[in-house]
């Protein structure tokens, strides 16, 4: 059974990974995505249930298709 916390943590880890690959700070990613830095921080910590619109904003800022941010979300370890 999937737990919401695991889903949110997995998504946050994915954002953190791709942000690092892109060489962006949380502040830079937030600016590119039109979001607040504290929002990015809470997403990466798994404390936000991110909307579809914000997933698309994050993907665009990271120059990725939105589906790439969801590849491992919801998969059992």
For 29-56, write each residue's pLDDT tens digit. 999 999 999 999 999 999 999 999 999 9
Q: In the prediction, which pLDDT does 13 show? A: 96
Residue 45, C-beta contacts closer than 8 angstroms, at least 6 positions apart: 12
Name the pTM for this structure: 0.91
Domains and CATH numbers, the chain: 4-66 (1.10.260.40)
Count of C-beta atoms within a 10 Å radius of residue 18: 19
């Amino acid at each position: 059974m999937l737990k919401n916390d695991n889903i949110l943590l997995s998504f946050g880890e994915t954002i953190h990974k791709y942000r690092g690959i892109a060489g962006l700070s949380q502040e830079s990613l937030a600016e590119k995505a039109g979001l607040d830095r504290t929002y990015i921080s809470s997403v990466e910590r798994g404390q936000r249930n991110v909307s579809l619109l914000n997933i698309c904003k994050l993907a665009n800022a990271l120059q990725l298709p939105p589906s790439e941010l969801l590849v491992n979300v919801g998969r059992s370890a």
